[in-house]
Chain A
Amino acid sequence: MDELTKIAYNCKKATYLIEKQHIGEITLREKLELKIHLAGCRVCRIFQQQSTAINRMIKNMFHQSVAGNIKLDDKFKDELQHLIDKQLEK
């Protein structure tokens, strides 16, 4: 296989580069390889779109759960404050 054919078939590397590019940096050569691969590979183009969507959704979901109304039960809180008060009196 010549170099170009290898790039065209290597979906493993292409998806790896897609992930790396999302959150880090890839080299110029890698960018070119990815571009060539994506031009000919519809499946990896779908992967790229979905991966971007998943990152966005995960981020939103994580932040919602922090901002959300998760509360500790009162019994645990009372015990906790009691524990703290006891430590303070030591």
Chain B
Amino acid sequence: MQTQNSTNLNHDKSTGPRVWVARHADYLYSYALARVNDGELAHDLVQETFLAALERLKKFEGKSTERTWLTAILKNKIIDIYRKKASAFVKKPAVTFAEYETDDFFEPDAHNWKPDHRPAEFGIEQTDHLESKEFELILQRCLKKMPSLWLSVFTMKHLDDEPADTICNHLRISPSNFWVIIHRAKLSLRECLQKNWI
């Protein structure tokens, strides 16, 4: 028999740290994996989340469910990772934004499409291709090619539907940088899909 734990969480055998792994580890892992796209890092994040939660166990008052509370801790850890990537990006704006000014997609003067980069219909316009495993794989591969900051922004936007100003605050980027990233990310992703799907 396990000894009765002194924290007030163990009065109920279905909650508390003794059953955290069994009850929440898979969920937290898939939550992390979807957001960081790196299995090893997702493992570490789950472990760190449980350890951080243990330290704060007394502060958990049961106002939310255990899972919600653990997920909030994990989410903050993910945002920390995003922020570190963002600060590396913002530190070298000269490269990134010069690149934006003289970009590959549009002609320098009138800013119309360069012939090689013009979007053409390739079948995703009306039909949903997600049922196709092949298409999903291409989409994933194209996402992985994105710079990590773009992917962070994309994930916060499309997975968590965070408002733009929340994302800017989390990542400490300016709104104009945010829109540039969103724009560039979509141009690249779209082009990658067109090249690989046709």
- Would you list which residues of chain B between 8 and 33 have a CB under 8 Å from chain A? 17-18, 20-22, 25-26, 29-31, 33
| Chain B interface residue count, Cβ-Cβ cutoff 8 angstroms | 55
Q: Give per-residue flags for A56-75: 1 if the beta carbon is below 8 A from chain B beta carbons, else 0.
A: 11111111111010111000
**A contacts with B, residue count (CB < 8 A):** 47
Q: Are B125 and A43 interface neighbours, CB within 8 A? A: no
Given contacts A43-B113, A70-B33, A88-B17, contact A50 B43 (CB under 8 A): no
List of B residues within 8 angstroms of A87 by Cβ: 51, 54
Q: Is the CB of B33 within 8 A of A13?
A: no
Q: Tell me if B186 counts as interface (CB < 8 A to partner A).
A: yes
User: B46: shortest Cβ distance to chain A, in Å?
Assistant: 7
Q: Is the CB of A77 within 8 A of B136?
A: no
**A81 to chain B: closest residue by CB:** B21
Task: Give the CA-CA distance A13 to B154 in the complex, in Å.
Answer: 20
Any A CB within 8 A of the CB of B110? yes
A76 to B47 Cα, complex, angstroms: 10
Q: Are A19 and B182 in contact (CB under 8 A)?
A: yes
Residues of chain B with a CB closer than 8 A to A49's CB: 125
Query: Do A80 and B46 contact each other (CB < 8 Å), given the known contacts A62-B155, A62-B158?
Result: yes
What separation, in Å, do the CA atoms of A55 and B143 have in the docked complex? Answer: 12
- Chain A, range 20-66, C-beta contacts under 8 Å to B: 20, 23-24, 43-44, 46-47, 49-51, 53-66
**B residues bordering A, Cβ < 8 Å?**
5, 17-18, 20-22, 25-26, 29-31, 33-34, 43, 46-47, 50-51, 54, 103, 105-106, 110-113, 118-122, 124-125, 128-130, 136, 139-140, 143, 154-155, 157-159, 164, 179, 182-183, 186-187, 189-190, 193-194
